[in-house]
């Protein structure tokens, strides 16, 4: 056990993660015990799968456990931060595993880099499904140091920096981590990735339908970083995919060419944005891995984000309609 170290407050947001919780929370408590100066706050978002009952029966004597129903994940994290008093805040998702020396390692990283926030992309579990392995290989990077985004499920930050920028944006359904990192950079705080601060993510999609639904959900926050820059490559490519898909349909139905040529050219238009993105990812990671599967996943990714755009404007229209009705009433 290490003593005399800065206090770390660990915040775990949770929603219906029962099957991962024993392994995840036990690993966090083991790391807290190893470090010696940390506390745990679990904030549940109205789970109905037995998670809340598990928290109260198994962990209430070793953590602060509370429930907030029907709020964003940003609200859960901010509430957990407000209930704690550590000099550092560690945000870990309820489907992640960490090593016993996780916090000791994190403190060494902060001491050596003098960064204000750190963490890294998730690691894969043993024997990963081809979907999670292919997606991870498309985005894996050996980069260390300054970075514009760290996933909030494996993220540590100095409290003074977190509070200075106002914490997570509670209006965002998702994408809150990228938006927070953007505000940290704008406020001149340092954000650096370190693979030494690692967590294994157990809740990756293991079916194409799950992958699609997850990308739709993530896509709901795609406009969250626009306050800083309109040059967001995923958003640009999503709109390119939308336009090219429309062009593919029109080409198939209306082009004067023979049917085989129309089918071939329409297919090329439909996969153009995914193909360009896969080629870009290969150039970034430095190798080619399962190109057909990579292309298929990026096609689903962009199609899911197009659907998310529809959902965003549908929700926006619904809110405006309610405002108009209230004004008339």
* Domain residue spans of the chain: 8-204, 233-328
pLDDT tens digits, 65-79: 999 999 999 999 999
**223 vs 23: CA distance, rounded Å:** 34
| Cβ neighbours of 203 (radius 10 Å) | 19
CA nearest neighbour of 81 among 71, 70, 92: 92
Q: How far apart are CA 123 and CA 64, in angstroms?
A: 27
Fold designation for 8-204? Spore Coat Polysaccharide Biosynthesis Protein SpsA; Chain A (3.90.550)
Q: What is the pLDDT of residue 140?
A: 84
pLDDT of 326 strictly over 50: yes
Query: Number of C-alpha atoms within 13 angstroms, CB side, residue 260?
Result: 0
Residue of 230 and 41 predicted with greater confidence: 41
Q: Does the structure show a pLDDT above 60 at 228?
A: no
End-to-end Cα separation, the chain, in angstroms: 64
pLDDT the model gives residue 2: 44
Structure tokens that stand for 247 in this block: 């062009």
Tokens of 91: 């945000």
Residue 190, SS3 per DSSP:
coil
Residue 74: what pLDDT?
Answer: 96
Q: How confident is the model at residue 32, as a pLDDT?
A: 97
pLDDT in tens, 121-143: 999 999 999 999 999 999 987 78
Q: Is 134 or 326 the better-scoring residue by pLDDT?
A: 134
Strand partners, 145: 193
How far apart CA 227 and CA 138 sit, in angstroms, is: 27
* pTM as predicted: 0.88
Residue 272 predicted with pLDDT over 90: yes
Beta carbons of 274 and 215 less than 8 angstroms apart: no
pLDDT at 41 over 70: yes
Over the stretch 176-216, which tens digit does the pLDDT of each residue have? 999 999 999 999 999 999 999 999 999 999 999 999 999 99
Residue 94 near residue 14, CB atoms below 8 Å: yes
The pLDDT value recorded for residue 1 is 43
**What integer pLDDT is reported at residue 265 of this predicted model?**
96
């Amino acid at each position: 056990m290490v003593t005399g170290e800065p206090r770390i407050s660990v915040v775990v947001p949770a929603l219906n993660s029962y099957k991962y919780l024993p392994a995840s929370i036990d690993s966090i408590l083991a790391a807290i015990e190893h470090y010696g100066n940390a506390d745990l706050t679990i904030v549940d978002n109205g789970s109905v799968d037995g998670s809340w009952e598990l928290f109260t029966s198994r962990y209430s004597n070793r953590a602060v456990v509370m429930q907030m129903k029907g709020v964003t994940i940003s609200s859960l994290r901010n509430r957990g931060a407000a209930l704690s008093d550590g000099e550092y805040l560690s945000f870990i998702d309820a489907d992640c595993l960490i090593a016993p020396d996780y916090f000791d390692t994190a403190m060494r990283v902060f001491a050596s880099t003098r960064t204000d926030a750190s963490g890294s992309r998730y690691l894969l579990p043993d024997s990963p499904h081809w979907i999670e392995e292919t997606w991870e290989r498309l985005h894996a990077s050996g980069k260390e140091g300054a970075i514009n985004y760290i996933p909030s499920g494996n993220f540590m930050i100095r409290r003074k920096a977190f509070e200075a920028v106002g914490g997570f944006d509670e209006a965002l359904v998702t994408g809150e981590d990228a938006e927070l990192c953007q505000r940290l950079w704008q406020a001149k705080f340092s954000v650096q990735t370190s693979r030494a601060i690692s967590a294994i993510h157990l809740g990756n999609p293991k079916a194409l339908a799950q992958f699609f639904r997850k990308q739709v959900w993530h896509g709901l926050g795609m406009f969250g970083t626009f306050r800083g820059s309109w040059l967001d490559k995923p958003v640009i490519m999503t709109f390119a995919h939308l336009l090219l898909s429309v062009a593919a349909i029109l080409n198939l139905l209306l082009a004067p060419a023979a049917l085989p040529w129309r089918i071939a050219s329409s297919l090329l238009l439909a996969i153009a944005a995914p193909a360009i993105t896969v080629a870009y990812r290969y150039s970034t990671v430095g190798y080619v891995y399962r190109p057909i599967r990579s292309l298929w996943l990026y096609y689903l990714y962009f199609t899911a984000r197009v659907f998310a755009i529809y959902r965003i404007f549908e929700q926006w229209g619904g809110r405006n309609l309610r405002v108009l009705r209230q004004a008339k009433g």
